[in-house]
Amino acid sequence: MSNVSQFTPKQDIYEQASLWISRVDRGLTHSEIQQLDQWLAASSGHRRILFELASLWDDMSVMNELSGLYPLKSAQATLSSGKDHAAKWKRQARYSSAAAVAIVVLFLGFISDWSWLMGTDNTTAQVSRRLATAIGEQRTVKLADGSYVQLNTNSIINIDFSGGVRRIVLQKGEAHFAVAHDHYRPFVVEAGANTVTAIGTAFNMQLTDTDAFELVVTEGKVLVRDTTSAQDASDATALINPDATASGQLLTAGEKANIRGQVDQRQSLTSDAMQQDLAWQQGMIVFKGEPLEDALKEIGRYTPVTFKIADENLKQKRVAGYFKVGDISGLLFALKNSFNIEHKRVSGMTIELKEITPPVSAG
Amino acid sequence: MRAISTIVNKDDIEDIVQEAFIKSYEAQLKQEIRYERTYMLRTVKNLALNHVASAAVQLNDAVENMDALPYDLVGHSLEKNVESKERFIHFCRATDTLSAEVKRVFLLKKVYDMKQKDIAELVGLSESTVEKHVAKGLLLCSRYLAELADDTPSTGSSANSQDVRSR
């Protein structure tokens, strides 16, 4: 963190910040992400003004209301509405006549798959794909509909946006979804025997077993169902119109639940608890007094290293702190420094932990 | 709710924020307008957080620091998806001060929610020009709104209370 920074007039910062917003809107390249990083690091004023303009940008999306009042002439209007699958297709065929479009709409499903095969368009290429992360890896991906998926370590999802429903299967691990609004195409994540449906909201899902997962809703509301029950399409209606659904299955922002067929252990999280739960999104794990054994199990998700503790008392020792994921040597150092726990590498990937002054032993 | 819809040609896009137009639909607008919000703030916050997580974070802070994690880890506040009518009209007026070409690009972005790439194609500008126009539109609108806020001392106008932002 360098303290050297050039003096920049405030208006220039606003100018730069608005350019960054525009670039973020267009989609940043990898090197631009680093440039933005440096720009943000240069002064806290940069960050403040960037946030201020971003917030204005979001507020101004209210102007979208005008599009209903003044629909845009030409096929572009449908393109921008993003309301259904037709929009995507029309991007490539915007010059064809309305009549042709009307006929072709009947074959949309077929055509979209076709254009995907031809790979002419990046966004359509994302219509159907598989995303995975290795142990210790985390990545954020923007999907074709503008939603963001953040995959945690050792996770797999399958994406299928080809139909009238934005469908994702969480096969393994944990993911956070920030869903772009689209009332007409519900966003459905399947995990185990359940689905979670949203239209524009944010939530986190972590598989805890092959048929169970933990759900945290960070924003808006989602609908939980088991896969044997009704249609996804009607779920969107249920979200908009809450009395149309069984109330037990509608979860709102700040709620957490374990789901295995049924919604279980439903609870409201304090914002602290939620931050702790979702700290992984910032590459961190937070512990607030969990038994060491549990903490190490959590840490183990991010590394091929396994930990061994022989001593039962030590397993139950409560630990607190926040750790950067994947930084095992930092963790070991912290355990030794703050908790008097020593480590020994017993084999290639196994580390044994011991307390420096062992408790009185029976021997 | 919407009595009249007028289809606009792409060459007339700028007109929709004109004073006369604003007046014509002002009556139809409800006091509070519900809308679908973009996620720019959250996106840039995440980008800023990545920076913090990678560069400056200590490995194990003492327990007492735990509640002060570097920044808000999660989108904490419930995002308001309701905007006051008054502010909406201010946005229109702000946009109306832009030069014709910038206005057109900015409206295609914010009203019609088009991708920059598609805007470039539609209006026949390069993508980098569209990017600059979008930035300029935002910058000038923010200036206009800031001046507006300076001119009207806060008299506790209730309709405008939504202006208050977190942090």
Same domain for A214 and A313? no
Same domain for A269 and A181? yes
Calculate mean pLDDT across residues A324-331.
Answer: 76
What residues of chain A lie within 8 A of the CB of B83, using their CB? Answer: 59, 62
Same domain for A32 and A91? no
Same domain for A139 and A245? yes
DSSP letter at A94 equals T
Calculate mean pLDDT across residues B8-34.
Answer: 66
Of the candidates A41, A70, A181, which has its C-beta nearest B6's C-beta? A70
In this model, does residue A31 exceed pLDDT 80? yes
Give yes or no for a contact between A171 and A152, defined as CB atoms under 8 angstroms apart: no
Q: Which domain holds residue A317?
A: 283-355
Q: How far apart are CA A178 and CA B39, in angstroms?
A: 9
The better pLDDT of the pair A37, B161 is held by A37
DSSP letter at B8 equals B
pLDDT of residue A120: 34
Question: Among all residues of chain B, which has the CA nearest to that of A323?
Answer: B59
Confidence of residue B25 (pLDDT cuts 50, 70, 90): low
User: Residue written as tokens 């359509």?
Assistant: A124
Q: Are residues A58 and B79, on separate chains, in Cβ contact within 8 Å?
A: yes
Tell me what ipTM this predicted complex has.
Answer: 0.72
Cα-Cα-Cα-Cα torsion B118, B122, B128, B130, nearest 10 degrees, comes to: -100
Percent share of chain B, pLDDT over 70: 52
Calculate mean pLDDT across residues A232-237.
Answer: 55
In this model, does residue B64 exceed pLDDT 80? no
| Tally of structural domains, chain A | 4
Residue A23 belongs to some domain of the structure: yes
In this model, does residue B139 exceed pLDDT 90? yes
Same domain for A119 and A248? no
Same domain for A101 and A139? no
Segment among A78-82, A190-194, A296-300 with least mean pLDDT: A78-82
pLDDT of residue A341: 83
A120 touches chain B (CB under 8 A): no
Mutate to test the interface with B, among A60, A122, A255 (most CBs of B within 10 A): A60
What residues of chain B lie within 8 A of the CB of A253, using their CB? Answer: 78
In this model, does residue B117 exceed pLDDT 50? yes
Domain of A298, CATH number, reads: 3.55.50.30
Domain edge (last residue) among A22, A38, A62: A62
Q: Are residues B88 and A202, on separate chains, in Cβ contact within 8 Å?
A: no
Residue A175 belongs to some domain of the structure: yes
pLDDT of residue A358: 53
- Give me Rg for the CA atoms of chain A: 24
Calculate mean pLDDT across residues A251-273.
Answer: 84
Q: Are residues B110 and A61, on separate chains, in Cβ contact within 8 Å?
A: yes
pLDDT of residue A239: 60
Calculate mean pLDDT across residues A11-21.
Answer: 94
Residue A363 belongs to some domain of the structure: no
User: Residue written as tokens 């037990």?
Assistant: A248
Same domain for A118 and A225? no
Calculate mean pLDDT across residues A212-224.
Answer: 89
pLDDT of residue B153: 55
> What are the boundaries of each domain within chain B?
13-53+78-151
B98 touches chain A (CB under 8 A): no
Same domain for A152 and A243? yes
Percent share of chain A, pLDDT over 70: 74
B22 touches chain A (CB under 8 A): no
The better pLDDT of the pair A154, A110 is held by A154
Give yes or no for a contact between A164 and A180, defined as CB atoms under 8 angstroms apart: no
Question: Among all residues of chain B, which has the CA nearest to that of A46?
Answer: B48
Q: How far apart are CA A67 and CA B84, in angstroms?
A: 18
What residues of chain B lie within 8 A of the CB of A279, using their CB? Answer: 69, 73
A320 touches chain B (CB under 8 A): yes
pLDDT of residue A357: 67
Mean pLDDT, rounded, of chain B? 69
Residues whose CB falls within 8 Å of the CB of residue B17, separated by 6 or more in sequence, listed in order: A66, B92, B93, B95, B96, B103, B107
- How many CA atoms does the CB half-sphere of B10 hold within 13 Å? 17
A212 touches chain B (CB under 8 A): no
User: Residue written as tokens 């905007």?
Assistant: B83
Same domain for A111 and A156? no
Calculate mean pLDDT across residues A11-28.
Answer: 93
A110 touches chain B (CB under 8 A): no
Same domain for A249 and A188? yes
DSSP-based three-state secondary structure for A45: helix
pLDDT of residue B67: 37
pLDDT of residue A280: 81
User: Counting beta carbons within 10 angstroms of the beta carbon of residue B142, is it exposed (0 to 12), middle (13 to 18) or buried (19 or more)?
Assistant: buried
A40 touches chain B (CB under 8 A): yes
Of the candidates B73, B108, B142, which has its C-beta nearest A56's C-beta? B142
Residues whose CB falls within 8 Å of the CB of residue A100, separated by 6 or more in sequence, listed in order: A93
Provide the b/e sequence for A281-305 (b: ≥16 CB within 10 Å). Answer: bbbbbbbeeeebbebbebbebbbeb
What residues of chain B lie within 8 A of the CB of A88, using their CB? Answer: none
Q: Are residues B35 and A68, on separate chains, in Cβ contact within 8 Å?
A: no
In this model, does residue A2 exceed pLDDT 60? no
pLDDT of residue A276: 76
Q: Are residues B5 and A36, on separate chains, in Cβ contact within 8 Å?
A: no
- How many CA atoms does the CB half-sphere of A270 hold within 13 Å? 4
Residue A13 belongs to what H/E stretch? helix A10-26
Q: Are residues A63 and B37, on separate chains, in Cβ contact within 8 Å?
A: no
Same domain for A133 and A252? yes
Q: Are residues B43 and A22, on separate chains, in Cβ contact within 8 Å?
A: no
Q: How far apart are CA A195 and CA A170, in angstroms?
A: 10
Q: Are residues B66 and A320, on separate chains, in Cβ contact within 8 Å?
A: yes
CATH architecture type of domain B13-53+78-151: Orthogonal Bundle (1.10)
Calculate mean pLDDT across residues B56-63.
Answer: 36
Q: What is the pTM of this model?
A: 0.44
Q: How far apart are CA A193 and CA A213, in angstroms?
A: 10
DSSP-based three-state secondary structure for B102: helix
Same domain for A252 and A178? yes
